[in-house]
């Protein structure tokens, strides 16, 4: 099932493996403190001289995701540490970000019937609930700081993957307001469900979406945000082809891909953590 890899590229639209036989860098077999069925939804942050990768570890027999951690100094050799966040309900999509020297995380928390913000009290292991952002069941909440406001993209149809809503607030404690043009995607499973971190590319703002029209998490498409302010939202598809999908990326062969956490480095170089559903030797899933 889902496993995690590392890619590099010259832009957030074109990706290749860092090494031919590197991927996957993390599978369920690497998780040692629980019995995991799969690992997915990776997000990473560079801190204290190393890359810290947070991801969903789906616990076998429980039907619940928990948030695990792996660490690497070179993006090639990864050391699994342990589960760092669990609740009585399912957790996934651990969108981690830094603000004013602290680390925060907004995982998917459908079972809590609200979008929650967690703050790290002792990096990278100790996470505490900081506040609730918005009520309701929202899949893959993705936060962005743009201008003088916080913006939050969420899929409020977590099983149909067809609607994307947009909220904003002057600070994350609120008050959060839904954008007047929200839902900004309606009845479109090719573009509604978030697929990772929103990134800046030059003077362009790019969000990524899962194409769930044929199956859940089939491939990932980029969308350029043209207008983003309290009154207006406009975007356009930023590529004629998906940035991730079924096929071979070096030695790693996948039947679908649904997540991309891209990070700009120096001199136009990009790195990303992704997930993929592997294809076995006879071409079946």
Rounded mean pLDDT, 106-122: 98
Looking at residue 11, which CATH number applies to its domain? 2.115.10.20
Whether 46 maps to a domain, the answer reads yes
| 219 falls within a domain | yes
99 in a domain, yes or no? yes
pLDDT given for residue 266 in this prediction: 87
Domain housing 16: 3-278
Q: Mapped to the 3 state alphabet, what secondary structure does 161-174 carry?
A: CCCEEEEEECCCCC
| Band of pLDDT at residue 144, cut at 50, 70 and 90 | very high
Exposure string over 97-129, b if 16+ CB within 10 A, otherwise e: beeeeebbbbbbbbebeebbbbebeeebeebee
Rounded CA separation 138/155 (Å): 5
pLDDT at 76: 96
Residue 278: both structure tokens together: 């592997």
Strand order in the sheet with 252-264: 14-17, 3-11, 270-278, 252-264, 247-249
pLDDT higher than threshold 50 for residue 174:
yes
Counting the structural domains of the chain, the total is: 1
The average pLDDT across 3-26 equals 96
The string of DSSP codes covering 36-91 is: EEEEEEEEEEEETTEEEEEEEEEETTTTEEEEEEEEESSSSS-EEEEEEE--SS--
Query: Does residue 144 fall inside a structural domain?
Result: yes
pTM listed for this prediction: 0.96
Residue 50 domain flag: yes
In a domain, 97, yes or no: yes
pLDDT, tens only, 258-270: 999 999 998 889 9
Average pLDDT value over all residues in the chain: 96
Whether 106 maps to a domain, the answer reads: yes
Note whether residue 54 is domain-resident: yes
């Amino acid at each position: 099932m889902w496993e995690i890899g590392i890619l590099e590229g010259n832009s957030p639209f074109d990706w290749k493996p860092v090494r031919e036989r590197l991927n996957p860098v993390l599978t369920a077999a690497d998780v040692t403190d629980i019995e995991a069925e799969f690992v997915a939804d990776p997000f990473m942050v560079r801190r204290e001289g190393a890359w810290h990768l947070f991801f969903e570890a789906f616990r076998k027999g429980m039907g619940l995701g928990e948030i695990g951690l792996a660490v690497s100094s070179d993006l090639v050799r990864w050391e699994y540490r342990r589960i760092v966040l669990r609740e009585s309900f399912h957790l996934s999509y651990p969108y981690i970000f830094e603000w004013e020297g602290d680390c925060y995380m907004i995982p998917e928390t459908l079972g809590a019937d609200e979008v929650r913000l967690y703050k790290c009290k002792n990096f990278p292991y100790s996470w505490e609930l900081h506040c609730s952002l918005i009520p309701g069941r929202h899949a893959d909440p993705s936060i962005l700081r743009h201008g003088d406001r916080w913006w939050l993209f969420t899929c409020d149809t977590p099983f149909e993957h067809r609607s994307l809503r947009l909220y904003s607030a002057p600070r994350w404690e609120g008050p959060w307001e839904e954008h007047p043009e929200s839902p900004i995607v309606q009845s479109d499973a090719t573009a509604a469900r978030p697929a990772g971190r929103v990134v800046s590319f030059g003077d362009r703002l790019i969000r990524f979406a899962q194409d769930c029209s044929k199956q859940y998490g089939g491939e990932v498409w980029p969308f350029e945000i043209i207008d983003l302010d309290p009154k207006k939202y406009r975007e356009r598809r930023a590529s004629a082809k998906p940035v991730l999908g079924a096929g071979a990326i070096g030695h790693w062969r996948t039947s679908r891909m649904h997540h991309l956490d891209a990070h700009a480095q120096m001199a136009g170089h990009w790195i990303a953590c992704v997930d993929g559903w592997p294809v076995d030797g006879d071409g079946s899933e």
